[in-house]
Amino acid sequence: MRRHSDIFPLVLFGGLMSLAGLGKSIYEDAAKAWMLNRISQWGYGTEAATLMSGFIELVPAFAVAAAIIAFLYWYIRKEFEAAYLVFDRKLRRPVGDFGFYHAYLVVMNTSPTEKLLNCRCEIVELRDCEGELVDTHIGLRTKNQADKAIQGRFNLDQGAQKEIPLFDINQPSEDETLVVINADGRELKLPYGIYTAKIRAYGDRGIADELTVRLNTSNCEFIICPDAAKWSPAGSLGAAPSARGESLANKPSPR
């Protein structure tokens, strides 16, 4: 329920402007009188006193201008550096049973007032356990876009979330254990192993959010890699999961 009338903001703004004008007038009169008195004591004429008092009257305007510039710098920088479409860092364990599992991420619009348009997600880099590059720039789709003609781009309301499917895991298969779900219509089937994916989410405003995840097809372990991790052959990303990673599934392999 609203607790004020429609004209309340207008009345408040008018009152603040009146107080600001009154304060400015009082300051200018007081500053001019003080400067005339001091200049006269120092033996200078009325012209010099008037000139100096004029400079003093400009001090508040310069101070307010500096404050406005600082605020605009902070606000513009915050707007351009903020990520509004972000990944939920609390990964869900791959869902499914009997050796067939489905791994996905969740993206959310963190803005309480702005709807995000033309959003998209992609796997920027997909690497195997040896650090070898498997594929790049794989467009992703949302869960609701399955079997639709147009996939990939989506809109997201304020505070809303969407599921982004990543992988289908078929553990009983001997050759093609992992299927990369994508919006490009490609068949991306990979053998049994450990894979690391660098994923980004792009909104129509703000910077892109980035997340690096690792999936082990043998036990469906799905974790977030440390932010400081670097791509390296058979090193930090290809070997055992880091202690900083958050393990979300530990299911025994049916093999």
Q: Average pLDDT by consecutive 10-residue portion of the chain (255 residues)?
A: 55 73 69 68 66 67 77 72 85 86 93 89 94 94 87 92 93 83 88 93 89 91 69 35 36 40
How do beta strands 178-180 and 161-170 pair? Answer: antiparallel
The alpha carbon of residue 71 and the mean position of all alpha carbons in its chain are separated, in whole angstroms, by: 21
66, containing H or E segment? helix 46-81
Please name the amino acid found at residue 42: W
Alpha carbon separation from 219 to 89, 98, 125, 164 (Å, rounded): 21, 12, 22, 21
Q: What per-residue confidence (pLDDT) applies to 251?
A: 41
Q: What per-residue confidence (pLDDT) applies to 165?
A: 93
Q: What per-residue confidence (pLDDT) applies to 53?
A: 63
Q: What per-residue confidence (pLDDT) applies to 56?
A: 67
Please name the amino acid found at residue 88: D
CA distance 173 to 165: 20
